[in-house]
Structure 1
Amino acid sequence: MFPWFAMGHITPFLHLSNKLAEKGHKVTFLIPSNTQNKFNHLNHHPHLIQFIPLAVPQVDGLPLGAETMSDIPVHQAPVLAVAFDLTKDQVKIALENLKPNLIFFDFAYWLPPLAESLGVKCIFFSVCSAVSTSYILVPARKLYKGQHFSEHDLIEPPKGYPSGSSMKHLLFEAKDGVYFSSEFNGGISFFHRLTTSMTESQALCYRACTEMEGPFIDYFEKQYNKEILLTGPILPKPSHTPLEERWAKWLDGFKQESVVYCAFGSECVMEKDQFQELVLGLEQTGLPFLVRLKPPFGCETLEEALPEGFEERVKGRGVVHGDWIQQQQILSHASVGCFVSHCGFGSMWESLVSSCQIVLVPQAGDQHANAKFMTKELKVAMDVERREEDGWFTKESVCKAVKLVMDEGSEVGEQVRANHLKWKDFLLTEDLETSYINNFMIKLHDILK
């Protein structure tokens, strides 16, 4: 396993590793040296899954000790990519020593020829949905090296894309996608990094189900003319670690399904004015709420970012917290009734198997397509209304979206709850995951023949 150096990539690669280890396979996981400790608890089969630490080289512009996207602002991703590519020699030595049958990867576009020279088969494992990758990262976009997307190129879906009208992007969402075609430091763009990885791999692998994303998977398969392996949902097992006492005690003080939980993942840093609109919108709902967010740009602490008088007004019913939190346990607590999420791919699955109502405020990249899929295709969530040109949202629009799904007797709330329950029941169907994993294993063996 050799994922991009980001928590949202390392985590699903490790979930897949656990599934392979359950079947008795040995897995070696290449990971930045100081990051390994953050993932030891997720390694459920340490006798079969071995971490091999990689030294992340120091490069100009990368803060000392930074190893993953969680350590740097999002705009510094290209600098981390330079360091990531410089681990090539360490990866080569590991492959020469290990002589694996297969290597699962994503961002290392240089890996397939290296692996092929050593007799190792490469499988591209996408940590994003088929819905989102097939919107931008396909040959139908006809973006050649040296060319760049304009924002208007990405408003419309590519030719042949399923569900075209419902997935059409707003201007601010399309602007966000332009970043994919930018080249940095004379290097390769993220678009060509990923499309090259996919084109040169033996097969493509998705954490997906045909029942949910079938048309998008079929479209992607035709675009790349490659077999697509599906792992199924790979849902994290229920945690046996109890929720931290301070949160359990706080949540126990509220009635069932009344608390709004808001979190935007491990990397998201908001602008201060939008951060304030978000928390003011939650205050305006009148509901109890727990927010887990990083301090916004330009602020050292969350406290200095909060609106004047906010803490006093919400004392006893509202908490804004900046450190890591046990999201899985929070979402399963009986008092939590709504999840306000950025719709990152991991959070998307967590929200689908929870009993919470879902409100979406996508922040970047694949989150926009994920959110459209959840609101317009599956119809299991409500999105926050935003300004088309720049994505600005108000406290009123945050409050409105939450109230629409949380108010008793709300027709919209009942509809999304019913649809959500249908998909939750499907994803938790007995043997669904086992069936997908068994079929996945058969296809892996076929690739090795």
Structure 2
Amino acid sequence: MSKSDSSKLHIAMFPWVAYGHFIPFLHLSNKLAQKGHKISFLLPKGVQPKLENMNQCPSLIQFFPLVLPHVDGLPPGAETTSVVPLSQQKYLAFAVDQTRDQVEDVLKVLRPDVVLYDFWFWIPDLARQLGICPVLYVVVSSMSMGLNTKELTREMTVKEVMELPPGYPSSTVKLKAEEAAAMLFEAEDFGSGLSFRDRIRKSTFECDAIAFRTCREIEGPFLDFVGRGFGKPVLLSGPCLPETKTEQLDEKWVKWLSKFEPGSVVFCSFGSQSMLQKDEFQEFVLGFELCGLPFLVALKPPQGCSTVEEALPEGFEDRVKGRGLVYGGWVPQELLLHHPNIRCFVNHCGYGTMWEFLLTDCQIVLIPEIGDQILNTRLMVNELKIGVEVERGKNRQVSKESLSEAIKFVMDKDNETANMLRANRAKLKQTLSDRDLQEEYINSFIQALQALIHD
């Protein structure tokens, strides 16, 4: 392929309305724009100001705001999953479906070569009418996508949901009964008369190619399985990690962390969508108290509470004073993870968070909540062997004892298994940190897109 201007692409981006999707789509946009390709990014109007500072190439990346209509069941002005509980997200999906005319008007004027999208099952049909190549861009693991090759209906039993599709590359990810039951919500209506699973399957079967934000070094066999299962070419963008940030950690965090020894602090963060019940929240923070190590826990206030302070167990603050901090606001997760005094990261294993912790020296403790997080956790724990999953009890409850034990286990420098996890993670970090590897992936990705539109 020549490097002339004629080979430059114009790519439209249209992610699902969650920050865990906007951000990786924008990371990819930055990588493509750095190579001279033009990006048109469709997103809800209110989200644009929050992403503008992450746009590294404003001359080539342009935002196109969409106005979401009000839909009964949605909080007024809701545009993203961060303000909409999981049970109401079907209304959010339906609201975005109603922007089809706006999307069509934008694409008619722009006429991009390719549109990268996820969840919007109506995009392939619309794109083809306009002579645009539709490519599904997946920002969850291919292990998770592989399960979607199997149809899921609300009539299925839990046992049937637990069965892996024929030829699935690993038996170590087998779902537990309670996890399979939790995944049955994917068979419920998720707006526009389609279930969550049907949206994904329709989006996948009707695209020209499936692209993943990943690399073969981590998910090779699962990528091959998805390609065979859906009968589509599979493209890889690589992890599309942002450049190492030059910004410094805020002084208040530096000052607090400096009170502790290097490699001694446990950090916990659960992402923007996680919402615990008050009793779960209290059990959780008691687990950090019980582990006996310094800790920084960043969690949203639990349901029914306006602050984390009012939700803390009685006497908790006095008991952990000078050793532990529970914080209810936003924290700079990525910068904190690279602080030398933090050595253990407790998290939900969301896909974006997973890529962040893979580039750190932290020991990893995982407490997945929903479908794709459960599968990401199996990938980290069973396949790559770089972390541990906290054992859940009855009704999938996490006890303070099981959380404390998992933390103490990975932080034990004399434990052979913990040292094996540490060594595996260090080796993987070295592979993923290779700039040549990332460069190779993005160049191959661009060539694959060019080949698609010239077919």
User: Which TM-score band applies after superposition, normalised by the shorter structure?
Assistant: over 0.9
User: Does structure 1 residue 157 correspond to structure 2 residue 169?
Assistant: no
Which residue, out of 385, 389, 393, partners 1:383? 389
User: Does structure 1 residue 130 correspond to structure 2 residue 142?
Assistant: yes
Which residue, out of 30, 43, 49, partners 1:31? 43
Q: 2:436 maps to which residue?
A: 431
The one-letter amino acid of 2:34's match is E
Q: 1:11 maps to which residue?
A: 23
The answer to whether the Cα contact below 8 Å between 2:152 and 2:161 also exists between their aligned partners in 1 is no
> How far off is 1:184 after superposition?
4.5
Q: 1:295 maps to which residue?
A: 301
CA distance in 2, matches of 1:97, 1:321: 46
Alpha-carbon RMSD: 1.3
1:5-404 to structure 2, matched below 5 A, reads 5-135=17-147, 137-138=148-149, 141-143=150-152, 147-164=154-171, 166-184=172-190, 187-387=193-393, 390-404=395-409
The answer to whether the Cα contact below 8 Å between 1:386 and 1:392 also exists between their aligned partners in 2 is yes
CA deviation digits over 1:381-415, x for unaligned, max 9? 0110112x521110000000000010231222101
CA distance in 1, matches of 2:266, 2:57: 35
The answer to whether the Cα contact below 8 Å between 1:104 and 1:124 also exists between their aligned partners in 2 is yes
CA distance in 1, matches of 2:325, 2:351: 25
Which one is further off, 153-162 or 76-85? 153-162
CA deviation digits over 1:314-349, x for unaligned, max 9? 111111112111111000011100000100001111
Q: Secondary structure at the match of 2:395?
A: coil
CA distance in 2, matches of 1:438, 1:2: 22
Q: Secondary structure at the match of 1:255?
A: coil
CA deviation digits over 1:343-386, x for unaligned, max 9? 00011111111110000000112000100110010000011011
CA deviation digits over 1:279-331, x for unaligned, max 9? 11111111111111111122222122211111111111111112111111000
> How far off is 1:150 after superposition?
3.1
Q: Secondary structure at the match of 1:153?
A: helix
> How far off is 1:278 after superposition?
1.4
Which one is further off, 269-278 or 25-34? 269-278
CA deviation digits over 1:247-271, x for unaligned, max 9? 1111122111111110111111112
The answer to whether the Cα contact below 8 Å between 1:239 and 1:328 also exists between their aligned partners in 2 is no
> How far off is 1:157 after superposition?
1.5
CA deviation digits over 1:77-101, x for unaligned, max 9? 1111111111111101100111111
Q: Secondary structure at the match of 1:34?
A: helix
User: Does structure 1 residue 406 correspond to structure 2 residue 418?
Assistant: no
CA distance in 1, matches of 2:229, 2:298: 39
The answer to whether the Cα contact below 8 Å between 2:37 and 2:60 also exists between their aligned partners in 1 is yes
The one-letter amino acid of 2:116's match is F
The answer to whether the Cα contact below 8 Å between 1:171 and 1:390 also exists between their aligned partners in 2 is no
Question: Paired residues, what number?
Answer: 442
Q: Secondary structure at the match of 2:225?
A: helix
Q: Relative to 1, partners in 2 of residues 1:342 and 1:86: Cα closer, same or farther, differing over 3 Å?
A: same
Q: Show structure 2 runs of 5+ residues with no match.
A: 1-12
Q: Secondary structure at the match of 2:63?
A: strand
CA distance in 1, matches of 2:40, 2:192: 32
CA deviation digits over 1:404-441, x for unaligned, max 9? 01023122210110111111111112301001111111
The answer to whether the Cα contact below 8 Å between 1:59 and 1:83 also exists between their aligned partners in 2 is yes
Q: Relative to 1, partners in 2 of residues 1:276 and 1:4: Cα closer, same or farther, differing over 3 Å?
A: same
Q: Secondary structure at the match of 1:366?
A: helix
CA distance in 1, matches of 2:94, 2:62: 26
The one-letter amino acid of 1:112's match is P
The answer to whether the Cα contact below 8 Å between 2:266 and 2:294 also exists between their aligned partners in 1 is yes
CA distance in 2, matches of 1:184, 1:377: 32
The one-letter amino acid of 1:121's match is C
The one-letter amino acid of 2:16's match is W
Normalised by the length of structure 2, the TM-score is 0.95
The one-letter amino acid of 1:36's match is Q
Which residue, out of 418, 423, 430, partners 1:418? 423
> How far off is 1:118 after superposition?
0.7
The one-letter amino acid of 1:61's match is G
> How far off is 1:75 after superposition?
1.4
The one-letter amino acid of 2:21's match is H
The one-letter amino acid of 1:400's match is E
The answer to whether the Cα contact below 8 Å between 1:149 and 1:181 also exists between their aligned partners in 2 is no
Normalised by the length of structure 1, the TM-score is 0.96
The answer to whether the Cα contact below 8 Å between 1:106 and 1:125 also exists between their aligned partners in 2 is yes
CA distance in 1, matches of 2:341, 2:237: 32
> How far off is 1:185 after superposition?
6.0
The answer to whether the Cα contact below 8 Å between 1:148 and 1:178 also exists between their aligned partners in 2 is no
